Every structure is written in structure tokens, then in C-alpha cells.
Structure 1
Amino acid sequence: MLLGIDTGGTYTDAVLFTEEDGVLRTAKSLTTKHDLSIGICDAVNRIMDREGDQIRMVSLSTTLATNAIVEAHDSPVCLIMIGYDKGSLERSNLGTAIGKNPYVFIDGGHTPLGDEQSALDLDAVKRAIDEHAPNVSAFAVAGYFSVRNASHEEAVRNLILEKTDRPVTCAHELSSGLDAPRRALTAFLNAQLIPQLHQLIHSVDIMLQEKGIKAPVMVVKGDGSLISAQTALERPVETILSGPAASVVGAKYLSGASDVFVVDMGGTTTDIAILMDGEPKLSEEGANVGGWRTMVKAVAVSTYGLGGDSEVALNRTQRCLSIGPRRAYPISLLAQQHPSVLEELQQQLRNERIGEYDGRFALKLRELNTALTSLSRLELEIWESLADGPVALNTLLERPAMAGPLQRLIDRGLVINAGLTPSDSSHILNKQNNWTRDGALLCAQLFLRQSQRDNYLLGVTPDDLAEMIYQQTIVQAGKTILDTAFIEEKIPQMTNTQSLGLALLDNALHNKSGSTTNTPLLDFTVKLGRGIVATGAPSAIYYPEITARLNTELNLPENADVSNAVGAVCGGVVQKYTVLISSPEKGRFRTHMGTEQKNFTVAQDAIDYAKSHAEEKAYQMASESGATDIIVEVDQFDKIITDAGGDQLFIESAIIATAKGRPVLAV
């Protein structure tokens, strides 16, 4: 038997699976971010008892990395840039991504041919390590043209490991592609994600020990293939879009569809991919998550901050409801877990004075991954006040000075706001019943009281508000699918909120069945060219109506709510290794392999050496990633131009070895 586990922002799913019989048992449990092992153990306990010795492989998928980027929840990281100029921060949104994290420019780096452009300033590196190590959870190191010579990155990495216990990410290990700022961005994001993936895999280890499971542990990469847990710990950025990729693989298995949109709606995000001829479409430019274009090869997924637990807020400027992109802890769930929350909501409703933060609470989401000294005095005060459970924001923010520190804790993913969400509206409308409806009703009443104070939503009841949230969620979800179709068809996106195009789409997506007015003079419809396979826990609530408005077919397969966990056990291992060959001068050819460069006078000799090295390295990487029955294919891509005299000039060649295998299973 194979055990598939998916850890999402809201739920942790578990699946028992065999190649002969498919899905045997499934279970869902709430994700417990403060200690992931609790949710994982709970889900696994629901589908197995004493069968630990029968499990031959455990495979994980997770949306935690994707969610962290989309919601801008990050761990503090120091980025060391070797040989970069300060203008690099303006390219690929690198400076925006870094935000308030420390970064350091260090002399060094290499030329496009792998020669040293200037000596590495190790003294400056030592000073940077001493200054920033106490306040960060990891380091990222990016050297200029490190894909042609990685010696400076390696030297800095070794120094960091010698002086600290912080994990280090080197940019050259994540991508062989040129684009220095984007490579630095990818390394930076990788370093931010290390603590989260470490927590996940450590939590799985706890479950394995508890259940007596001695099977290999694999993790789904963003392209849907598998890597060993150890490899994932070294390169967690490759698990960006792990959950969506697993969902696509699982959706294909569960539905049998071959040419469809695959939509995975979870608690935090909606992820949309396309199956073409039965295969997931891969991103040619690298995974794009939360607006950051990485250099990680992944399934072409459009990720939107819209899910069952998206935060519902009142946009006072535009006088409308806004849903997402940030997640909020659903009040119906919070009230079920903490009955005192119901009492607080009732008291707020009895108060004559309308509180600024009525119906909203804060609670710890996970533990610190840095020293307490990394928190300011006010941040520490808030952190300690949340030690015993959720606290009403009216209490927490009695002093205006506390708002900024609270927001910083939220930005780091340490604390989360609880409030009204689409999940709460589903409880009010009796479309969902697994949490406390009373909490959702009270929160809706408080939300309306605040809105009506501002002369908005006058005469609206809690049921009316819940229906408005439900309808707006449908409209926003429909737009995400159309947006993905526009991108695929290369149709320019409509960014002007006053544009005629957006007005027509709004008209087509809004529900007109309940209108009591006369038949409109204009009534637009939109038709999607492919059907939709909908997966994820909230999909059954929303997608029957969404597909009806998009005039397309819905495939809601059995076990669609645990599609990610199914996909986690259906993939294989794929690893690629690239060797570049350059020509520093006529008649000389140079191979670039990490810290090693080798010169040849005959092009074919360089190619033969590169192919042999790439094949050996790809095989080794696949083996280390947990594969057996490995087959390696080697491709050669030459860049040759013709000069003015008609002669052909060799510019460079890329030798790419692809190793494929199936996961090693326990005996």
C-alpha cells in the first residue's frame, strides 16, 4: 500500500492507495500550523490502524510553499549577492521581493566564460554573517554568472556553515539558466521556504515513528514528479506549486479526462492548470506565484488568492465587498474550537458602541523559527498575549501603536486574523455544516452593523449578506478561469476596472435568475471551450454554478476533495542536469559544471565529455531522489550563427540529461 498526504492551508488529507485497486480509504483533518504533526497524525489515524508494516511508500504534496508566497508570509532571510550591481534590485522585482529582509553586495563574481571578474571579498562576507545571522532563519547566496563558475557561491556557503547553523541556498543549484536577478530571486524564495518544509517533513517523521512505518518518504515537485524528502529539504523552492501539480496528476487519474481545465479550490488559493492530450502543460518560463517569476520548472498553473477561507472585507472606498487574497481563520471554525469566542461575539453585539474590529480576532499560527530577540518589544508583547488562545482585535489593538507590530507578525506568517470568510457564508446558507453556524451568524451581524453605520448594506440581513458573499465568490472564481484562458490564448488582460470588456464579463458571470426587473436590453453570455475538472474541498459548493455560468461541462470525480493526496502517490521521479559548453576563442571549447571548468581544442571532445558527465550526474541525482529502474536520455541544443562571410560560428551548446525512474518502494 502507498500512503499519500497533502498538507494545505486549511486541511490535511490522507489517502491509502494501491496500484491494483486505486483509492482504498480517504480522510481529512484540519491543518495545525503550530504543530503540523497533529493534523497529519489525525488524518492518517482515520484511515489506518496497525497497517504500518504494509506501507511501501509515503508521498507528500503541500500548498504551504505556494500559500506562503501568495500571502507574503515569509521567514527572514539574508541575501548575499556576489558581483551584482545595485541596479539588479530593480530587475525581476528582486528588490520588492526582498522587502525589509537584509541583503549585502559583495565583490566577486565571474564572466560569461566562467573567469573571475574580481576577487571574492571574504572579509566582507564574514562581517555580513556576524551582523545578520542572529536575526534570520536562513541565507541565500547568488553569484554573478555562477552557472558558469560556482566557486564563489560555494566558498560563501562553506563560510556560513562554518560560522552558523543556518541553512544556505546557492543559486547555481536551483537553475542553470541565465538571468542573474531572477536566479537570485529564486534562491531567496528557496531560503525563505526552508523552515516551513523542514517543519513539514519533521512532522511526517513523527507520524512515521508513531505508526511504525519504515517506508521511503517522497515529496511532489512543482512539475508533478517526485523527489526524496532529503532532496526537498535542500531545494524546497522546487515544491512551489507542489500541491497544484499533485492536484493535476490526481485529477487526471480520478477523472480520466485528457483536455480540460483542472481547477483546485482550497482554503487559501484557487489553482488552475490545463491538461492537453492527457499531460499537464508545463511553464516554459518558470513557476509564477504571487507575482514572482521564478526559475523553477513547474506545471503551468495560475494561482489566485481565492479560497473558502479568503478574508471578506468591506472596501470603503469603492463601497463593495472584497474577497481575498489573504486567508482569514473562519469564525465558524474558531468558535467551534474556542467556545469563549461565541461569548465574545455575543457581548460585542450587545454593546451599544460599535467596535472598530468587531467580529475579528487574532491567534497564533505557528511557532517562531528565529530567536525571541528578532521580535520588537511590542511584537513580543502581542506574541505573549496570544499564548493562551485567540484574542479579540478590539482588545489587542486598544493602543493604536499595536497595529503595526501585529501586521508584521501576520506578514511573517506567525499570526493570523480570524473573521468572516466564504466558508462562514456557506454555513449560514446551510451549504456547509462541519463547523459552528452560530459563530458565522454572529460575525455576519457584526459585519453588517459596521457596514450600515457607514450607510452601506442598509436593510441587508445575515442571510442576504451570506448570499452576496457566495455570489461574489462565484463571480471571482469565474474570472480566474477566464483570466487563465486569456493568458493561454495570449489575449491581452483587461486591467482597467472601467473597461467595457470587464463590464461584459461581469454581466455574463453574475446571476440574473433572481432578478425581478424587466428583461434587460442586453444580456451577455460566455462559453468556455473546454470542460472543468474541479477538485478541492469547496469545489462541490461553488463549481456546479460556476460551470453553468461558463456554459461548460463539470467533472466532479469521486474523491475530488483529496485529489492532491491521490496525485502524490501517482507520480514518478524525474531529474535533469545541464552542462554548458562555451567557446572563449576560436578553436577552444569550455565545459561548465559547477565549480569545474574544462578546456578542449576539439568541439566533439567537449561534447562527448559533457554528455558523459551530464548522464552520470543526472543518474546520480535521480538515485539520490529515491528512484530505481532509472533511464537517462541526453539531448544536445546548439547555438550556431552564420557570419557575414557565410561561415558558421559556434556560440554555445547545452547538453541536457534527463533521468527518469519509479520511486523505490519498501520491501
Structure 2
Amino acid sequence: LTGAEAKLYELIGSTPLAVDRLLTSNAQNATLNRLVSRGLVHVAGFTPSDAAHVLGKQANWDAATARLGAELFARKRDGRGQAIAATPEAISERVLTTLTRLSAEVILETAFAEDGLDGAATVAHALVQRAVDSHPGIARLSVALDRPVIGLGASAPLHYAGLPPLVGHDCVVPEDTDVANALGAVVGQVRVSAEARVSQPQEGLFRVASGESVRDFNDEAAAIAAAETDVRAIAAGRARDAGTDSAEIEIASEFRVSTVEGQRMFIEAHVV
């Protein structure tokens, strides 16, 4: 740890501490973030799941603790010095509403990007914002997806229930959505890579470096074949270590050659 990191780390201790009481300058935010990125410190905060517990829409953990978090969060001050919410329930409703709204904007941003537009800029445009809000007016605007949204994850039934009016299409939540992401992680593809290099340290000598081995050959074709064999074996081993018992291996080779007095001169090959 640097001197600044060590000093801040000593102040934290084992008891939860409010960030505004811990940090004495804006520069210390970066120091705290470095400690967090190294896994030495955890920063706790009010989450949408806490909001759902406060409102009785979720019951996976301690609702009393979630309510305490909501009470603290509601006390935060806005630009006028006023509390941002009057009650824990009020701030919790705002959090869930905001989450659904932001989810809709991200979905629309992705859709616009797929259509070749600048997704973020398009969603931020006043006309799209009016359309998502269903803002009344002489000129009424609407925006809608051409297909339904599939909600996955244990919280999908809660957070995506309000999506349809925002994205202009249904939101389908599968029956086993709470384990869908976990299953997807298990059956997902594993991608690994391996590489070898073939060089010619002197004319007629072809050196293969792959993994931890280095071998010399007198023939370019034999050296390339050996490099490909090594890469295939290393990739298969890494795939097994990653949890798959069957691997589809693709080999690609990139050659660096030159022409000297009309003759091809091998310089190097990269096999992956």
C-alpha cells in the first residue's frame, strides 16, 4: 500500500463507518476506490433490493436492516438543503421507479444502436424522452420495440413489471427466471487461447517456442506442424481446466516473410 492508502486503511477499522466521516478531502475518494478494487474494503449502500424489502415486495433478508438503510438514504439533502424524501417508503418507491425507467432506457439504447443509430444520444433526445413518458400534447409521440423483452433473474418479476408502457411491448418473465442466469453460466461457452511462435535464428534453423518448451527443426513445414500440434494440445488442456470436456479448436497462422534477391525468406510465424 502507498502511504495514503495505508493511512486511510488504518482509519477504517472493523466497524462500519460513514464515508463522509472517513474522508476529509475529495482526493481521498480515489484512495478509497483503490482499496475497494484490491478487495481490502467494502462499501455498503442502499440498493433496489433493500427498497423492495422496505415496501414488502421482497423477503430474502432482514427487512429491518433495509428500512434503516432507507431512513438514512432519505435524510440526504438536495441542492436546497431539503431531505430528498419524507419517509423510507417514499425513497424506496422512487428507487424502484428509477430502476425500471433506467432499465427501459438501456433497452431502448441497445435497440437504437442495433438499428445503426447513436443509442445513448437518441434515447437522451427530448422527443424520445417525451415518448417514453407518454407526455400529453397536441403532437403525441410514441416509441415501441418490435418484439417483447425477456426478463431474467430472481428480481425480474419485480423490476420489469413496469416495463411494457415504457418500451411499448410486453415483458415476458419465464417461470424459472430465478435460476435462468445460473443455468446460462453453466451451459455457456468456454473460450481459451494458446499460442506458439516459430522463428529462424539462423538460416535453415527453425525454432518453435510454445508453452515452456523450445525445439529446433531443420524444415519450416515441420516446425509449423509442430507449433500447431503444441497449440492444439495446450488449448485442449486449458479448456479442460476451464470445465469443458469437449472443445472445438481452431488454428490460425500468421507469417512474416520477406523477399531477398527473388527468394522467399522466412522471418517468423505466429500460431494461435
Q: 1:542 and 1:589, CA in 2 relative to 1: closer, same or farther beyond 3 A?
A: same
Which structure's CA Rg is the greater one?
A: 2
TM normalised by structure 1 equals: 0.33
CA distance in 1, matches of 2:178, 2:47: 19
Counterpart-to-counterpart distance in 1, 2:202 and 2:109: 48
Q: Is there any run of 5+ residues in structure 2 with no aligned partner, and where?
A: none
Q: 1:412 to 1:604 in 2, by over 3 A?
A: closer
- Structure-to-structure mapping, 1:173-322, within 5 angstroms: none
Q: For this pair of structures, how many residues does the alignment match?
A: 268
Q: Deviations over 1:154-210 (max 9, x none)?
A: xxxxxxxxxxxxxxxxxxxxxxxxxxxxxxxxxxxxxxxxxxxxxxxxxxxxxxxxx
Report the equivalent of 1:538: 155
In terms of fraction of residues, the more strand-rich structure is 1
Q: Please name the residue that 2:96 is paired with.
A: 470
Q: Look up the match of 2:229.
A: 612
Unaligned runs of 5+ in 1: 1-75, 77-99, 101-134, 136-373, 657-667
- Maintained 8 Å contact 2:49/2:58: yes
Question: Which amino acid in structure 1 is aligned with residue 156 of structure 2?
Answer: S
Q: Which residue of 2 aligns with 1:376?
A: 6
Partner of 2:50: 424
From 96, 105, 114, give the equivalent of 1:479.
105
Residues 11 and 22, structure 2, Cα contact 8 Å, conserved in 1: no
Aligned to 1:636: 252
1:506 is aligned with what amino acid? Q
Tell me how far 1:437 sits from its aligned partner: 4.8
Aligned residue identity for 2:6: S
- 1:482-535: per-residue Cα shift (whole Å, max 9, x none)? 34445555544546xxx884434433444x4xx8xxx22444433335543322
Percent identical residues: 27
> What is the one-letter code of the residue matched to 1:603?
E
1:549 maps onto 2:179 in alignment? no
Deviation at residue 599 of structure 1 after TM alignment: 5.2
Q: Verify: 1:503 aligned to 2:126, yes or no.
A: yes
Runs of 4+ in 1 over 6 A off after TM superposition: 583-588, 640-643, 645-651
- Structure having the higher helix fraction is 2
Q: Distance between the aligned counterparts of 1:443 and 1:626, measured in 2?
A: 40
Looking at structure 2, the residues matched to 426 and 524 of structure 1 have their Cα atoms a distance apart, in angstroms, of: 32
Q: Could you say what the CA RMSD is over the residues aligned between the two structures, in angstroms? A: 4.7
CA shift in 2, pair 1:448/1:571, >3 Å: closer
Give the secondary-structure state (helix, strand or coil) at the position aligned to 2:194.
strand
Counterpart of 2:172, as a letter, is N
2: CA distance, partners of 1:611 / 1:624: 20
Output the amino acid matched with 1:554: C
Give the C-alpha shift of residue 609 in structure 1.
Answer: 1.7
What is residue 407 of structure 1 aligned with on the other side?
32
Higher RCO (C-alpha 8 Å, min separation 6): 1
Q: Deviations over 1:613-660 (max 9, x none)?
A: 2233334444555655x56645334457998x999887765444xxxx
> Structure 2 matches for 1:120-199, cutoff 5 A?
none
Contact kept, 8 Å, 2:5 with 2:32, in 1: the verdict is no
User: Is the contact between residue 504 and residue 524 of structure 1 (CA under 8 Å) also seen in structure 2?
Assistant: yes
Shift of 1:584: 6.9
* 1:617 to 1:529, Cα distance in 2 relative to 1, 3 A: same
Alignment of 1:33-48 (within 5 A): none
Counterpart secondary structure, 1:577: coil
Determine helix, strand or coil for the equivalent of 2:187: coil
Q: Select which of 526, 541, 563 maps to 2:143.
A: 526
- Quickly say closer, same or farther: Cα 1:426–1:623, change in 2 above 3 A: closer
For 1:613 and 1:398, how far apart are their aligned partners in 2?
54
SS of aligned partner of 2:105: helix
Amino acid at match of 1:635: I
Q: 1:535 to 1:649 in 2, by over 3 A?
A: farther
Residues 109 and 123 in structure 2, CA contact (< 8 A), matched pair in contact too: no
